[in-house]
Structure 1
């Protein structure tokens, strides 16, 4: 029978273990933690000696946990999360306007939604350090759920019962065409009317791509995609030289100046770009985070 005294297990060693498992590699874990690889190996060996178990199956080429390793890994995550909550609570007592916030922010939302929030918050609470993680929506959800991000901005809807969600922004999609396009004088349009046009769209990894594709499907056609891009300004520039058309949230079309495009409201189907914030239901919300959410509501409420 193995007697485990968790008090003998150093928090630093637990953090190293969790990082090795999540990075699936000792070297990458060392790079992430800025610790030399031999020190990583010694930390794991020390943990094994203290617990009296083998954590990794060293016969395997990849990082593979033993049964005991799985148990230690899961409990290590819980211990580290508890330590983080304790630290946040102490920071709240000492100075409610200080601390750190880790924010998940997809590129597009960062461009159009975040700047006024960031400006207002840092001016009001200069003692809080903001760390931006530019991640896609799905990864942002997972990191918020795990407590690795304090808050995330994502395109709605979000279907995750472990997250608290709050929509903060909504914008209609419009058809963007060149000022020389035959449709440029239209006051409004139905989506099926452009089924034969070449489309310039966001890359498949973007939520905006899926929204547009779903709207086209509901209108009875599969769009002829000429080009995909990760850059909203490039999409509009290509539209302006008549390479194709684009369907974007209205705010995109109004962002670029001195570009020859026209934005036309789409009346059938009407579909929206909905943006919101997500936080974990499981983890404690620091005063810094609560003030951040209040700032968002003041700007977009």
Structure 2
């Protein structure tokens, strides 16, 4: 979990010269400085580690490691399902965790996917949004990347749902060392999985800070409303109120509902060969305009590489 959080700022990119402060981004000066710091940290430490990991790790082993940490994440997903009153989906995700933990050998193999138990994406930030908590201003956290006051509180909640947190605090020296090693592997594995995505980000944006910001906000709106975000409103305050009102019956809680995808921002990549990842089991059609998205539960930038890049991988 912690490893996934550390990836959020790694693909943020170098900021260009700051433009006039956006009234909807009052913390832009701080955000751009932290954005640049995260990029430097990635270039210096994370990317070299990820490249080395990718070079020496066979694809089946890499996939198994990714599946194990995804399986741990399903604990928090299940809890947030029930907190959002998604009882059917919660039952599916609980079953998914049990199947993969047992038959899938502690999650090394995604057996649940083979029996139609897809991976869902829920986090405590979405839960707060479901119950009407507004997101607040966009903010960039050191190491953790794109966020908001609501989603920062959500990170704390997600950490409390993660068993590795308690191993770190109460497990003694040996357990702490093992947990730290697991976190390091999670960070490196997650970063290596994003290597191909970085090419799209590099080619997509003139101002990478604005690109990541718009993508993040758009993705969070999409997730909180389960694929049916409210219509855009010219009044930014009204839009914020709509986001914070996604509660109870007012929110469409059908999992993986892609019938009303979010509208692409002006910085979206108009690449007909790009496929935008919505979750681990679903993709947008190639014919649809690609929409840059950020997965905040894992804090990963999810932009797919061109089709030929994926084939080489």
- How high is the TM-score relative to the length of structure 2? 0.24
Relative to its length, the structure with more strand (as a share) is 1
- How high is the TM-score relative to the length of structure 1? 0.25
Relative to its length, the structure with more helix (as a share) is 2
Task: Please identify the structure whose Cα radius of gyration is greater.
Answer: 1
